Amino acid sequence: MARKGILTAGNDGTGKKTDKETPPDPAPERVPARRGAVGALQSSLTRLQENAVQEIDPGLIEDAGFEDRLGQDSAAFAQLKESLSTYGQQVPVLLRPHATRQGRYEIVYGRRRLKALRELRMPVKAMVRQLDDHALVMAQGQENTSRQDLSFIEKASFAAQLQDAGYDRATIAAALSTDQPMLSRMLRVGAAFDLAFLRKIGSAPGIGRDRWLALAKLFEDQAAKSRAGIFTRRPEFCGLDSDARFEAVFERASRKPEPAPARKAPARAQPLRAPDGKVLAEIRANTGGVTLRVPARESGGFDRWLHDQAETIINDLHARWQDERAEDD
């Protein structure tokens, strides 16, 4: 309730005191109690819903975020399926509502569990949160950081995908819980290889940062990159495990191309002349042997006679050669 005016002594400018009524205090604005209570209740319900684990049909879940797994370890995946089949799903995945398709969801993290549950035809236990793209990246990155089995190249590829999508380095570093110098190394490696190539190599869990940096350096030479790429298409490449695939690619990229053998100029034919100067034949010597050529058109039949007498003539010449060698000895 507003207070009434109070008479106070004042001054009218003439030095005489006057009586003047002060205006009443304004009434304080009241916040409706109902609005505050409803807002708090809605906020509490939202938090409860986001932390609640729901069972969702895997057919309603679509992919989202960025690829953080390179290839799949079939043995490890088989163990995951067996564990889920035997003990059920113990750790929920994280989803967000689909932006445009009512009643559907997008996976934030837990892709391997989702794939295994799909194959087992089991419902997915999930938490559903309202996440924009930035929050999705942060959640996926933080979940990846807490996993011990994510390899260096998987983290580097994830960082490169975020950079290609337009995220700044501060956001990427925060998502991966790393510092700027390490992020620079990750991006140098991740940007050096396209995703299709990295899928062929796989996670390479035993290969660290320095080896990947060395391969990135080798790939600056297009010939080295081509040699490595050709090998990834061979059948024997697919039979190797992930670490061995990296080593095989590294070895081929490191090979020095063999210099092409120098082409020797063909030996020139030497003419064999009769006493009158007429060319009877041509003889040519090279590393493969000696060739005698008698042109048929101009020989007047000498070519055919030589052919018939060749064995006798070559034996006579060979005997003379042996005699000369014996004399020299």
Q: What is the mean pLDDT of residues 172-197?
A: 91
pLDDT surpassing 90 at residue 117: yes
180-189, 196-205, 283-292: which range is least confident on average? 283-292
Q: What is the mean pLDDT of residues 125-151?
A: 80
Q: What is the DSSP letter of 25?
A: P
Question: What was the pLDDT predicted at 304?
Answer: 83
Instruction: Report percent pLDDT > 90 for the chain.
Output: 32
pLDDT surpassing 80 at residue 91: yes
Name the residue among 206, 214, 197 with its Cα closest to residue 242.
206
What is the H or E stretch that residue 225 is in?
helix 222-231
**Higher-scoring residue by pLDDT: 92, 142:** 92
**What span, in angstroms and rounded, lies between the C-alpha atoms of 240 and 252?**
15
Mean per-residue pLDDT over the chain, rounded: 79
Q: What is the DSSP letter of 65?
A: S
* Greatest pairwise CA separation for the chain in angstroms: 161
Return the half-sphere exposure (C-beta side, CA atoms, 13 A cut-off) of residue 239.
3
CB 119 within 8 A of CB 58: no
Backbone angles phi, psi at 282, to 5 degrees: -125, 135
Question: What was the pLDDT predicted at 16?
Answer: 40
pLDDT surpassing 50 at residue 61: yes
Question: What was the pLDDT predicted at 305?
Answer: 85
Cβ contacts of 201 within 8 Å, gap of 6 or more: 70, 71, 153, 232, 242, 245, 246, 249
**Higher-scoring residue by pLDDT: 263, 110:** 110
pLDDT surpassing 80 at residue 237: yes
Top-confidence range, 142-146, 235-239, 282-286: 235-239
Which residues are 282's β-sheet partners?
Answer: 271, 293
Question: What was the pLDDT predicted at 14?
Answer: 40
144 pLDDT tier (thresholds 50, 70, 90): low
23-37, 48-62, 232-246, 252-266: which range is least confident on average? 23-37
pTM assigned to the model? 0.55
90-104, 173-187, 241-255, 290-304: which range is least confident on average? 290-304
What is the H or E stretch that residue 180 is in?
helix 180-190
What the block records as the tokens of 168 is 């700044």
**What span, in angstroms and rounded, lies between the C-alpha atoms of 238 and 145?**
29
13 pLDDT tier (thresholds 50, 70, 90): very low
Integer angstrom CA distances of residue 90 from 67, 87, 128, 142: 23, 8, 16, 20
CB 106 within 8 A of CB 96: yes
Helix (H, G, I), strand (E, B) or coil at 281: strand
**Higher-scoring residue by pLDDT: 241, 263:** 241
50 pLDDT tier (thresholds 50, 70, 90): low
Question: What was the pLDDT predicted at 72?
Answer: 64
Q: Is beta strand 124-128 parallel, antiparallel or unpaired with respect to 54-56?
A: antiparallel
What the block records as the tokens of 100 is 């445009």
pLDDT surpassing 60 at residue 5: no
